[in-house]
Amino acid sequence: MRNRLLMGRGHMPNTSLFALAFAASPHPSAATATSLMSRNTSSSTSSIATSSILSASISQSSGEQLSTFLGSSAAVSSSSTTVPTATAQNPIPGIYPSTDPSNPPSIRQDALEVVPDFNPAWQTAHTKAQNQIANYTLEQLTTIVSGSTSRCVGNIQTVDDWPGLCLNDGPLGVRLADYITAFPPGINTAATFNRSLIRTRGLFMGQEFKGKGVNIALGPMMNILRVPAAGRNFEGFGADPFLSGEAAYETILGMQQGGVQACAKHFIDNEQETNRMTSSSDVDDRTQHEIYAQPFMRSVMAGVSAVMCSYNLINDTHACQNNLTLNGILKDEFGFQGFVVSDWGATHSTLSATAGLDMEMPDSSFFGETLATFVNNGSIPLSRVRDMAQRVIASWYFLHQDEDYPAVNFNANNQGDEAINEHINVEDDHSTVVLDIGRASIVLLKNIQNALPLKKPKSILLAGSDAGLASIGPNEFANAGGDDGILAIGGGSGAANLTYLISPLEAIQIRARQDRTTVSWILNDFDLARGGNMAIGASAALVFVNADSSEGSDRTNLTSHNDAEQLILSVAAQNNNTIVITHSVGPLIVDSWINHPNITGVLWAGVSAAETGNAITDVLYGAFNPSGRLPYTIAKNAADYPASVSTSLEIPYAEGLQIDYRAFDARNITPRYEFGFGLSYTEFKYSGLNIVAVNESDNAQADLIRNWEAGYPSPIGLGSSTALWLHRPAFQVTFEVQNTGDVSGGEIPQLYLQMPPSSDEPPSVLKGFSDVFLQPGETKTVTVMLSRHSLSIWDVVAQGWRRPQGTTAVAIGASSRDFRLTGFIPL
C-alpha cells in the first residue's frame, strides 16, 4: 500500500482534534502523533459531525489556551460561529503589524523583517459575510458557490443586492480582453530575483484586472519546475521552492493592493501537462511540505483570497476532492481563510464539498441544484454550505470589492461583442515595468574577451526568425498557441493579448544608427548556407533562437524551435564573434554549440513580453548591465535532470527533495550552468560576513521558541505552519558587496543553507536573496533575515517543523555553486 500523504490527517471545521491533543503537551510522542494521524483517512461527513459534537463540549477556556499555544494564524471558533479568523497573537509594531490587503508592508531588502497580520482584516470580512448570508435560502447559498459562464471565463451569479463575481485568467494579465498589458511571464519575473520588480508587476496587474471589472484574477501560477520540459513552466517562478514562494508572496501582495482577488494555483503537484486530468502525482509528506507546498504557504501568508485546486490526482485522490491537502494542509495547517475554487472541469463529485472545495467552475455539474439535493438528503450538512458561501463572500469583502468596484466592461467569450465591450483602456504606464523586468531578467551566460557590450561595431548580422516579427502580429495565434517570429510569451490560459511587440530587429536598427553601423538580417532558420555566408566579415553576428510551449502539452525535447542549433553552427563557422540570444520558456540543452570557439557571447532572454526587443538592445549595447539569474539549472544532458515528463498514470516523485540544482549537487553532476548563475559587465567582491541572533524583546511565544531551539517539533493545529514565532526574523545575516569593476551594475547575492547530515537535506538550499546596485568602487551592506522556518525540516512523524540536530552552515555567493563567504548559525 502506498505511503499516504499526511497518513490520513483530517479536517475539523470547528476545533481541530489534533490541535487540542497536542496543546496539552508541547512534546508529543511518536505514538501519540501516529494515533492522531490515523483517525481520519478519508473525506466524510462523519468527521464533520464528530467535530461538531467535540467542539460543543470544549470549554471557552480550553479554546483560549489552544489559541495562545498555536500562535499567529490559529483560528479557533466555537460551534456557534463559523468565522475562522480569531487570532491569538497581538500585533507587534514593526514585526507583526495588523495589515489590510490595500496597504501591505513596504518592500524591504531584508524581506523577512515583517510578517503581516491579515487576521483582523479577515475577521472583519467574515463577520460581514456572515451577516450577509444570515437569511439566505439554500438555493441562494448554492448559487454563490456554483459556477456559470457569462462575460468572463467564469462567473458567479447575483444574489439579491450582492452583484456576483467575475473570474478571469490569468497569471500575466487580463486574458481575452483588449487595451491591457501582457506582463512578462512568471519565469522571467523570477529571473530578476528582484522583489521590487515582482511586487510592482503584481500591483500593475491587479490595477488592470480591477479596471476591467474582474473580481478574481486566476493567478499567480506557482507550480514548481520539476520537469524541464513541462508545458507551463513559463507561467511559474522556476525550480526552487523558496524563490517561487517569495515571488508568489510579492506578486499577491501587489495584486491585492491593486484591488483584485488573487488566486494561487494549481494546488497541488501539477508539474506536467501530459495526462494532467488522469495521472496521480505520488508525493511523500516531507517533499510535499518542503518543496511543493512552500509557495502556497507563502501565498496564504500574503493574504491570498482564493486557491485553485488542480486537475491531477494526489496519491490517487483527485486534487479537488483531496481532504488531506485541501483541509489538512491548506485550511488547517496553513490557516487559509479564503475559498478554494476548482480548475475548470476539475470537480468530480458533489462530495468534494466535504473535502474542502468551496466553488465549482465553470458550471454547476456537481454543485448548484445537486448540492442542494445532497443537503436536503443529509449527505452534506447545511453548515458546510454556509461555510463555503461565507468564505466566498468574505474574500469579496476582504478586498473591499463592496466599495464602488467597477462592473465588468468586456466580454471574454465574445471579444467582438460591440454591444457590451466598452473597450476600457487600463494600460496606463505599465509598459515601464515590462521593460524593467525584460532587462533585469536577461541572463548573461557567456562573454569571452568582453565581446559584450557591443562597442560601435561597423556591421552586424541578425540571423534567425526569432529576431523579427511574426508574419501576422502581435497575436497571430489564439492564446499565443504558436511560434512565428520573436517569442514573447508562452501559450494557453497563461497568455494574454499583446497590444504591441518590439522585435530585436526593430530596436537594434534604431540603436545601430547612432553608431552608423550597417545592419543586415536573414529571418529564415533553414537557409543555413546563406546565413553562414552573410555572417562573413560582420563585426558581430547575432543569432536568435527560441523554444516555445503551451498549456495542454509538454515539450517533446529540450532543443530549439526549427532545429535552430544548425543555424547557430552555420553562422559560427563563418564569424569569430558570434553572439547567441535565446528566447525560451525553460531549459535547453546547449552543449552542441556552447563551446564553439567562435561563439563569444550568450544572452538568455527567456520570454519577456512586448518590450523584449528594447530589453535585449539595452543589454547588448551596455545601456543596462545584465543582472538576471537562472531560475533553473541548464544541464549538459537531458538525462542529468532528476525527473522528466512521464506518460504513466502513476507519477512517482521518487527524487524527493532532490530537484534541479539540489539533485545536481547531491549526485555530484556538473551542470552546464547552475541555478542562480548569471554574469555581469563588472565584477563584485564579497566580504565581512556576520551572523547574529535577533533580539526578540517582546518575548512573544517564547515557550514555542525554546521548544524549537531544544530540537522539538512545532505543535500541530490550525495555522501551525504559518505561526508568527516560526516566521519572524530569528537571525540577521549581513555582509558587504563591492563593485570592483569599471561600470555600474546590479548584483544578486544569494544565501544558501547547508544543513547538518542529520537533516537528510540536499547539500545546499536557497533561503535568501537580495539585489544591490553599485557604482564602480562602491560598497554596500546587504542584510538577509532568516526565520526558524527557514532553518527547519518537516518531521513526518510529529507533523511539525523541527530544527535538525547539528550545525547549520551559511553560504553566501553569486549562484548555487559560486560561494564567496561561509559562516554558521550561532545556535
If you compute the radius of gyration of the chain from its CA atoms, what whole number of angstroms results?
26
Residues 604-624 have a mean pLDDT of 97
**For residue 674, is pLDDT > 90?**
yes
**For residue 134, is pLDDT > 90?**
yes
Return the C-alpha cell found at 430: 505599465
Measured in whole angstroms, the distance separating CA 477 from the mean position of its chain's CA atoms is: 26
Type of residue found at 177? A
Among 498, 492, 511, smallest CA distance to 236 is for 492
Q: Is residue 586 within 8 Å of residue 234, measured between CB atoms? A: yes
Residues 669-684 have a mean pLDDT of 98
Q: Which of 285, 343, 466, 483 is catalytic?
A: 343
Q: pLDDT tens digit string along 104-120?
A: 999 864 445 789 999 99
CA dihedral 568, 570, 574, 579 (to 10 degrees): 0
Q: Is residue 329 within 8 Å of residue 294, measured between CB atoms? A: no
Q: Is residue 178 within 8 Å of residue 498, measured between CB atoms? A: no
Residues 295-307 have a mean pLDDT of 98
Among 545, 594, 650, 660, smallest CA distance to 228 is for 660
Residues 454-476 have a mean pLDDT of 95
C-alpha span between 499 and 462 (Å, rounded): 25
CA dihedral 532, 538, 539, 541 (to 10 degrees): -30
Q: pLDDT tens digit string along 204-213?
A: 999 999 999 9
Q: Is residue 676 within 8 Å of residue 816, measured between CB atoms? A: yes
User: According to the model, what pLDDT value does residue 112 have?
Assistant: 53
User: According to the model, what pLDDT value does residue 6 have?
Assistant: 32
- Please report which helix (H) or strand (E) contains residue 663, including its range: helix 661-666
Sheet holding 280-282, edge to edge: 317-318, 313-314, 280-282, 650-652
What residues are paired with 444 via a beta bridge?
A: 603, 679
Residues 181-187 have a mean pLDDT of 97
Residue 551: CB partners within 8 Å, gap ≥ 6?
231, 232, 273, 479, 491, 492, 493, 494
Residue 430 phi, psi dihedral angles, 5° rounding? -70, -15
Least confident range from 47-51, 148-152, 652-656, 810-814: namely: 47-51
Q: pLDDT tens digit string along 64-103?
A: 222 222 222 323 232 233 444 334 567 777 788 899 999 9
The confidence band for 416, taking pLDDT boundaries of 50, 70 and 90, is confident
End-to-end C-alpha distance for the chain, whole angstroms: 40
Per-residue b or e along 689-719, where b marks 16 or more CB atoms closer than 10 Å to that residue's CB: bebeeeebeeebbeebbebbeeebbbbbbbb
Q: pLDDT tens digit string along 475-500?
A: 988 888 899 999 999 999 999 999 99
The confidence band for 701, taking pLDDT boundaries of 50, 70 and 90, is confident
235, 274, 524, 564, 687 from 470: Cα distances, Å: 22, 28, 12, 17, 48
Active site residue 343: yes
Neighbour count for residue 515 (Cβ, 10 Å): 14
C-alpha span between 242 and 298 (Å, rounded): 9
The confidence band for 13, taking pLDDT boundaries of 50, 70 and 90, is very low
- Percent above pLDDT 70 for the chain: 89
Instruction: Specify the 3-state DSSP secondary structure of 353.
Output: helix
C-alpha span between 314 and 271 (Å, rounded): 12
What residues are paired with 342 via a beta bridge?
A: 309
**For residue 44, is pLDDT > 90?**
no
Per-residue b or e along 619-634, where b marks 16 or more CB atoms closer than 10 Å to that residue's CB: bbbeebbbbbbbbbbb
Q: Work out the angle at residue 782's Cα, subtended by the Cα atoms of residues 780 and 784, and round it to the nearest 5 degrees.
A: 175
Q: Is residue 313 within 8 Å of residue 653, measured between CB atoms? A: no
Residues 389-414 have a mean pLDDT of 97
Among 344, 247, 357, 360, smallest CA distance to 552 is for 344
Residues 316-321 have a mean pLDDT of 98
**For residue 652, is pLDDT > 90?**
yes
**For residue 129, is pLDDT > 60?**
yes
C-alpha span between 274 and 556 (Å, rounded): 11
Least confident range from 94-108, 452-466, 486-500, 717-731: namely: 94-108
User: Can you list the alpha helix ranges (DSSP code H) found in 413-503?
Assistant: 431-440
Per-residue b or e along 500-509, where b marks 16 or more CB atoms closer than 10 Å to that residue's CB: ebbbbbbbbb
User: According to the model, what pLDDT value does residue 88 have?
Assistant: 56
Q: pLDDT tens digit string along 503-541?
A: 999 999 999 999 999 999 999 999 999 999 999 999 999
Secondary structure tally for the chain: helices H, strands E: 22, 27
User: pTM of this prediction?
Assistant: 0.90
Return the C-alpha cell found at 216: 478574481
Q: Is residue 343 within 8 Å of residue 361, measured between CB atoms? A: yes
Among 616, 630, 544, 545, smallest CA distance to 586 is for 630
User: According to the model, what pLDDT value does residue 29 have?
Assistant: 30
Return the C-alpha cell found at 330: 491548506
C-alpha span between 210 and 208 (Å, rounded): 5
User: According to the model, what pLDDT value does residue 93 have?
Assistant: 74
C-alpha span between 184 and 433 (Å, rounded): 9
Report the DSSP pairing between strands 306-309 and 339-342: parallel
**For residue 62, is pLDDT > 50?**
no
Task: Give 245-256 as a DSSP string.
Answer: HHHHHHHHHHHH
Type of residue found at 596? H
User: According to the model, what pLDDT value does residue 110 have?
Assistant: 41
* Average pLDDT across the chain, whole number: 89
CA atoms within 13 A on the CB side of 578: 29
User: According to the model, what pLDDT value does residue 719 have?
Assistant: 95
Residue 735 phi, psi dihedral angles, 5° rounding? -165, 170
